Structure 1
């Protein structure tokens, strides 16, 4: 009798434990592994940034969407000469300085700005616009604070994805495809 009571108690405990275990989800088999794998979503123009404190004490922060060439040609398919460009993708590219600066010798007050470019054949115009909280293709020229003309640079190797960087010397460099632009930010005196 003892063995029968023990066996019944064991079976009841087993059945109660099994009833509390959640069922395994059914996953439709795909491929050879039998498991469905979700790939991470690829962002066409992922957000990127550059931050630096320059040797003369200016904090520079740059945020932008980094598009890829994807077989397109700069100057023909995208970023056409004479057309204002958002200097990136998606939202407005922003650049901020925590102190008053000069950009290639021209005064610019501390603050956050939208950065645009008008590419040219030999030189391009960098534009600092006080309206930075907007979609990147919206431009109000009345809000332009500073325009700086810089020479175009030919890079030795093509860069698939747009890269904007700043270094401790205050040099801010933009590179995409075989093209580059540079400007220099210095603490105002």
Structure 2
């Protein structure tokens, strides 16, 4: 009986311990992850998918301050942004094979350099290696009257199998043409 009682106490202790650890979740991510898809229509398979962190402005000046001009940026927060092309595409004016790439950028006041890099699953841009670049596209930067609190990426479908990928944060907007080949 004594052994049975001891075993019951031990099982209850372990059960309560596991239960208390299971309820310890970390806090909400300050820059939550988001996904943007490019599909030619709602029922079509995707042409591209972007997975990125969405940092917030929080009343701070963004480009030229929080994100410096003329330096490689992870194009979002936390892990470097990744873009998957499910078929061969023309990205800006560069032909790119289907696959997954890291999406880096070099923000400038008038134009941005958008970079596709083969080094995936990296945190930030701390270990960025230019020799792993697959494509570099230079696009103009524009301003909008509306300020976006969270960094955002979206696709706006065009004709046939083309779309414009928009990057936006605060009042800055950047557009990169993408066309399935």
For Structure 1 versus Structure 2, the TM-score category normalised by the shorter chain is 0.7 to 0.9
Partner residue, 2:79:
91
2:93 aligns to what?
105
Matches within 5 A, 1:24-173: 41-54=27-40, 59-137=47-125, 138-169=127-158, 170-173=163-166
Aligned length: 151
TM-score normalised to structure 2 length: 0.77
Detail structure 1 runs of 4+ shifted over 6 Å in the superposition: none
Structure label with greater radius of gyration: 1
Secondary structure, aligned partner of 2:166: strand
Alignment correspondent of 1:28: none
Query: Structure 2 CA distance, aligned partners of 1:147 and 1:153?
Result: 19
Structure 2: runs of 5 or more not aligned? 1-23
- The TM-score with structure 1 as length reference comes to 0.74
State the Cα deviation string for residues 6-62 of structure 1 (Å, max 9, x = none).
xxxxxxxxxxxxxxxxxxxxxxxxxxxxxxxx9x93321000111131269762100
